[in-house]
Chain A
Amino acid sequence: MDLTFNARERAFREELRGWLAANPPDPEPVDGGEDAHFAWRRDWQRRLYDAGWAAPGWPAEYGGRGATLTESAIYFEEIGRARVPMAANVLGLLLGGPTLMVWGTDAQKERHLAPILSAEEIWCQGFSEPDAGSDLASLKTRAVQDGEEWVITGQKVWTSGAQYSKWCMLVARTDGDAAKHKGLTYFLMDMEQDGVQVRPLRQITGEAEFNELFIDGARVAQENVVGGVGNGWKVALTTLMNERAGLGFALQIRLRQLLDDLIALAAERGLLDDALYADALAELHVRCESLRLLAWKGLTDVERYGQPGPEGSLVKWLWSDTNQRLTQLAAEVIGPQALTAGTAWSYELLRARGNTIEGGTTEVLKNIVAERVLGLPRLKVA
């Protein structure tokens, strides 16, 4: 056991921390709504890109730094710690790019990777549908071949950033007769065409991070099939596996910062001397620390032994549950101010509700743990 970082990793952290300190983003725009906010994040990614910090985990040949898994995790810790915005093209950087590196043709990599990195072209993810959430493979959006093109018809939902996107990672059914996982194909769909309509989906916070996508006869060129026709499920799994990898470290640091803020507020109000509040805050501290350890254990076990432990599924479950507990406790510590619309804590309180749903519901994660980690039988549904 050695729970320290090596010299190279420490140097990586120092270099990044130094760069972030010397190159802070512009202040967050107060006017202009979501468009102005997105433009701000796009500008920020451009600066990261210019300095070679947009995606350090990408291989050098594609414009990254060939950072190790540990260094990539350090990157997200530092991004979280510096409280800088998330890069605008986060889905392209974390999901789209890495998926193309595994499944894409040389021409696709040549065409797409550079504009992902520079935020010139934003990517979104068209997987979920109104009737295909946790049961993703039951999706119904259809793709029918027409000469050198595919014609897509269907509906997608929870599509973050669709209104700003040039490309959509889209999974559609190309063979209605094949078994449910077999008839799927993974496409890159150009969002800038009449067959694609984007409608914002207001969430309980009042903002619209997500969209619905109405696709009616949209066309995708044959060259934009990723990983071959009928292979969409495997390609989609590559995307999904990347979904939780890096971002988790940024979210954890964010959780830690929220907890530190809450402890400070509790101290101001004298609540650290109240046994009930003290117990609840200490429990959150214990959870945050075990979360940090589990995340690092999961990552470094893969790096050193090539074998993931059970941590992956547990980390997202524990993080989401802890963030909900924390924000609910905050409402009690802070009182009316946390319950006033428009305050930072009221936003956190409501936004946290999504945590146990997005990126795999807690119920699905428990199924995964039960079936794949513990080897329990799956209930056959008639």
Chain B
Amino acid sequence: MDFGLSEDQREIQRTARELLSERARPERVREHAEARSCDEALWRELCDLGWPGIAVTEEYGGQGLGVVALAVLCEELGRVVAPVPFLATAMAAAVIEHGGSAQQRERWLPGLASGATPGAVGVAHDGVAELVLDGGAAQVVVLVEGERARVAAASELDVRPLDAIDPTRSAARVSFGAGAGEPLSVDVDGGVDRALVAVSCELVGVSERALDMTVAYVKERHQFGVPVGAYQAVSHRCAQMLLDTEKARSLSAFAAWTADAEPQRLREAAAMAKAAASDAGVEVSAGAIQAHGGIGFTWEADVHWLYKRALVDAALLGGAKHHRARLAGVLGRISAAAPT
């Protein structure tokens, strides 16, 4: 049993971390967040590297490196709150790759894998998805409604951009008129589960960064003559933030691994990962604001980008309670034997 990344996956992680520490510095993220603009230069660079298609099979123009590799990128992009439509595009690719027919895959995947036609996924009620992440810039949109999903070119849809609470990425309200697009009818669940893994891993990255920033801050900030991190009221909350992050990380990594190695366990694993990561992302980034004190509540401190990203990600494709309710539905049947 080995929880470590392979040499290739570690290389992807190293490359991503180096590139993003250079290209997605906090001041640059802030600039785009304040302008509510996508970082086009960074997005082009990520597309040139083939990142949006990292998990898409080579047949459709991707790199075929699997969900674990995608998970690595999501985590790194979450860490820096990158202002690019990566997650939305990767999620759309996952749902179409597994839910779509050969024709649909042929039609949409190459553009999603190269990033030439960014995508988005929304959860709809009566044909309307109120908040579709990066729905404004998407050229292909998947709407999931209950057990069913449809895919359509954005030009066929009514797309109204809106300002979401997280200004590092765009959002839109999308409605599917009657007859717009085509149904996806293969393994929609398998696609949505992979999309859930991607969001969960981004939330792990957000949590990780929120904790890093907090630890650095509470070591520096002195009150009553000592670093505030020496007080147990502060340090114990930091410990709790680590526990929450590690719970989310372990389940997200497990879910990514099942997607590649034991897809029959993905359903349950993805629900567990999204439940734990949604809670962790919000709790840990909220803890970061609290531990930063008054400064944490200001626009000037960068912790609020993490909290806002976490709030939106936590709600994407259903929040923690939604996924726990799904789990409860199968609890009686789940055999939680150790993997053998």
Chain A residues proximal to chain B, CB less than 8 Å:
1-5, 9-10, 13, 70, 77, 256, 260, 263-264, 267, 272, 275, 278-279, 281-283, 285-290, 292-294, 296-297, 300-301, 304-305, 310-311, 314, 317-318, 363, 365-367, 369-371, 373-380
Contacts and interface: CB of A to CB of B under 8 A. Distances in A.
A344 B5 CA distance: 43
B1 A377 contact: no
B324 A290 contact: no
B4 interface: yes
B324 A366 contact: no
A281 B68 CA distance: 29
A5 B340 contact: yes
B275 A293 contact: no
18 contacts: A1-B3, A1-B68, A4-B339, A260-B336, A278-B328, A282-B327, A283-B275, A287-B247, A290-B272, A301-B3, A314-B243, A314-B246, A366-B239, A367-B232, A367-B239, A374-B211, A374-B242, A378-B230
B219 interface: yes
B195 interface: no
B238 A294 contact: no
B325 A285 contact: no
A297 B324 contact: no
Interface stretch (B53-61, B94-102, B248-256): B248-256
Contacts of A292: 336, 338
Query: Which residue among B4, B219, B239 has the maximum number of chain A CB atoms within 10 Å of its CB?
Result: B239
B236 interface: yes
B325 A1 contact: no
B interface secondary structure, majority: helix
Contact of A286 (B229, B230, B272, B339): B272
Given A286-B324, A290-B247, A375 B242 contact: no
Contact of B324 (A13, A283, A288, A294): A283
B332 A314 contact: no
A256 B335 CA distance: 10
A332 to B, nearest CB: 16
Interface of B: 1-6, 9, 68, 211, 215, 218-219, 226-227, 229-232, 235-236, 238-240, 242-243, 246-247, 250-251, 253-254, 256-257, 261, 272, 275-276, 321, 324-325, 327-329, 331-332, 334, 336, 338-340
Given A289-B336, A290-B247, A294-B246, A375 B215 contact: yes
B332 A267 contact: yes
Contact of A366 (B235, B253, B275, B332): B235
B232 to A, nearest CB: 7
Nearest to A370: B235
A68 to B, nearest CB: 11
Contacts of A289: 251, 254, 272, 336
A278 B242 contact: no
A4 B2 CA distance: 8
Contacts of B227: 376-377
Contact of A281 (B5, B253, B328): B328
Given A2-B2, A314-B243, A375-B215, A293 B238 contact: no
A318 B9 CA distance: 29
A376 B324 contact: no
A282 B275 contact: yes
A301 B4 contact: yes
B275 A286 contact: yes
A376 B230 contact: yes
A366 B237 CA distance: 9
A293 B2 CA distance: 11
Given A275-B325, A286-B272, A1 B253 contact: yes
A376 B229 contact: yes
B230 to A, nearest CB: 4
B26 to A, nearest CB: 21
Contacts of B261: 1-4
